[in-house]
Structure 1
Amino acid sequence: MSKSRSTNTKKRTSNGQRVTIGGVSGIVIVVIVIVAQYVLGIDVLNTDDTTAPTSAPVNIGGSTTTTLTAIPGGYDGGWFQLYFTQPINTEDESRFTGAPIENAIIAAIDGAQKTVDMAAFEFNSQPITDALIRADDRGVQVRVVTDGEYGLEDPETTLDQLEDAGITVNSDGNRNAYMHDKFFVIDGLYVWTGSTNITHNGMYNNNNNAILIRSTQLAQNYTDEFNELFAGQFGASSPGEIPNPDIVVNGTQIETFFEAEGNASNGHDLPTRLAELLDEAHTVRFMAFVLTRTDLMDPMIERAASGDLDVMGIVERSQRSYTKSMMCAGLQVRQDGNPDVFHHKVFIIDDDIVVMGSFNFSKSAADNNDENVLIIHNAAIASAYLQEFQTRWNEATVVSASDLNCS
Structure 2
Amino acid sequence: MRSWDYSGNTKEFVTAHFENIREKIKEEILKAKESIRVCVAWVSLRDIHEALVARASEGLVVEVIYNDDLKNRSLSLISCENIKFYPIKLRYYYGLMHNKFCVIDESVVITGSFNWSKRAGSHFENCVVIRDNFELTRRFLQEFYDIVSYFSEARAAQVNTCSHSGCRCESFKIGILGAESGLYGESTVGIWEICGSSHLRV
Structure 1: which 4+ aligned runs deviate by more than 3 Å? none
User: What is the SS of the residue equivalent to 1:396?
Assistant: helix
Indicate the SS of the match to 1:342. coil
Q: Superposed, which structure 2 residues align to 1:44-59 within 5 Å?
A: none
Judged with a 3 Å threshold, the aligned counterparts in structure 2 of structure 1 residues 382 and 290 are, in CA distance, closer, same or farther, namely same
**Structure-1 residue corresponding to 2:9:** 250
The residue number in structure 2 matching 1:110 is none
**For the pair shown, which has the larger CA radius of gyration, 1 or 2?**
2
Q: CA deviation at 1:250?
A: 3.2
Q: Deviations over 1:71-92 (max 9, x none)?
A: xxxxxxxxxxxxxxxxxxxxxx
Matched pairs, number: 145
Deviations 1:13-35 (CA, angstroms, capped at 9, x unpaired): xxxxxxxxxxxxxxxxxxxxxxx
Alignment of 1:60-99 (within 5 A): none
Task: Supply the distance in 2 between the matched residues of 1:255 and 1:275 (Cα, whole angstroms).
Answer: 15
Alignment correspondent of 2:29: 278
* Distance in 1 of aligned mates of 2:2 and 2:110: 20
1:390 is the counterpart of 2:145: yes
Matches within 5 A, 1:349-388: 349-366=104-121, 368-377=122-131, 378-388=133-143
CA offset digits 1:307-358 (Å, max 9, x no partner): 2x21011100114325x32321112011114222100011111101111111
Instruction: Report the Cα distance in structure 1 between the residues aligned to 2:62 and 2:39, rounded to whole angstroms.
Output: 11
CA distance in 2, matches of 1:247, 1:329: 37
- 2:57 aligns with 305
Measure, in 2, the Cα distance between the counterparts of 1:396 and 1:310: 19
Percent identical pairs in the alignment equals 23
For structure 2, list consecutive stretches of 5 or more residues without a partner in the other structure: 156-202
Distance (Å, rounded) in 1 between the aligned partners of 2:114 and 2:55: 24
The answer on whether the counterparts of 1:288 and 1:316 sit within 8 Å (CA) in structure 2 is yes
Q: Can you list the C-alpha shifts for 1:220-246, whole angstroms capped at 9, x where unaligned?
A: xxxxxxxxxxxxxxxxxxxx645xx22
Structure 1 CA distance for aligned equivalents of residues 79 and 43 of structure 2: 15
Structure 1 position 321 matched with structure 2 position 63 = no
TM score, norm. by length of structure 2: 0.66
Question: Is this contact kept in 2: 1:337–1:392, CA < 8 A?
Answer: no
CA distance in 1, matches of 2:46, 2:89: 24
Describe the shift of the 1:241–1:373 C-alpha distance in structure 2 as closer, same or farther (beyond 3 A).
Answer: closer
CA-atom RMSD, angstroms? 1.8
Q: Which residue of 1 aligns with 2:42?
A: 290
Secondary structure of 2:36's counterpart equals strand
Matches within 5 A, 1:204-223: none
